[in-house]
Chains A and B, each alone.
Chain A
Amino acid sequence: MALTLGGTEMFAAAALAILATMALALARAIAGPTVYDRVLAVNMMATKTTLLIALLGFLAGRPEFMDIALVYALINFVSVIAVLRLFGRRV
């Protein structure tokens, strides 16, 4: 990795931004008036979790985390469609 300037502060900053966004999405998932707001917030949290795992892989110096992020990105889509099939009539 081409880390020459400083260390991993930018990874930490981006991870903090992602964590703040996840907290906001979690607040929407708790407060959401309809079930679709909750599904939207959970979908957003899953996307942010993928990014957070990728960032943590760089932050911890363990690039094997990319595999986990890849699997999470795939599971995210399947879970949203499955939950919509449960709540909606036909999607």
Chain B
Amino acid sequence: MDVALDLLSWALLLLGGFFAVAGGIGVIRLPDFYTRLHASGVTDTGAAYLILAGLMIQGGLTIITVKLALIGFFMFFSNPTSTYALAAAAHRSGIEPLPRAGGANTPEPVENTLPEPLDVTQKRPGSAPPSQP
């Protein structure tokens, strides 16, 4: 039983280490901020929870496991929140995501040769749309 638990926890630890290194390589190699956010999310979820689970199995039914579970509990709420805050702040500051490069469904950019239409309504961005009679 102990041997089986050890093997399980070691598999979890090694898998967590693999996810950590894969996410680190992704953070280095991916081309765009939002894709790097995805790679960071791999290490924040896969690596963190797998390693915490492996350590919990090694800790047994003690206060150590409770503390590890608390760490996992806080990570469960704080990591998505900080990732969301990062993505929202970057999007608000004007960082555009990469366009899909060379995919099958890539829309061809259409050259707009028409003159700009005269804007007679002068709608402001925050104003309400005019009500229909």
- Chain A residues near B (Cβ < 8 Å): 1-5, 10-11, 13-14, 16-18, 20-25, 27-28, 34, 36-37, 39-41, 43-44, 47-48, 50-51, 54-55, 58, 63, 66-67, 69-70, 73-74, 76-77, 80-81, 84, 87-91
Please give the distance in Å from A9's CB to the nearest CB on chain B: 9
Within 8 A of A (CB), among B75-98: 75, 78-79, 81-82, 85-86, 88-90, 92-93, 95
- In the complex, 16 of the A-B residue pairs with CB atoms within 8 angstroms, ordered by the A residue number, are A2-B58, A10-B14, A13-B13, A21-B43, A21-B47, A41-B27, A43-B40, A44-B44, A48-B43, A50-B75, A63-B64, A70-B67, A73-B74, A73-B78, A81-B85, A88-B92
Task: Provide the bound-state CA to CA distance between A43 and B85, in Å.
Answer: 12
Task: Provide the bound-state CA to CA distance between A27 and B13, in Å.
Answer: 24
Q: Which of B2, B47, B88 contacts A51, CB < 8 Å?
A: B47
Q: Which of B7, B52, B63, B89 contacts A87, CB < 8 Å?
A: B89
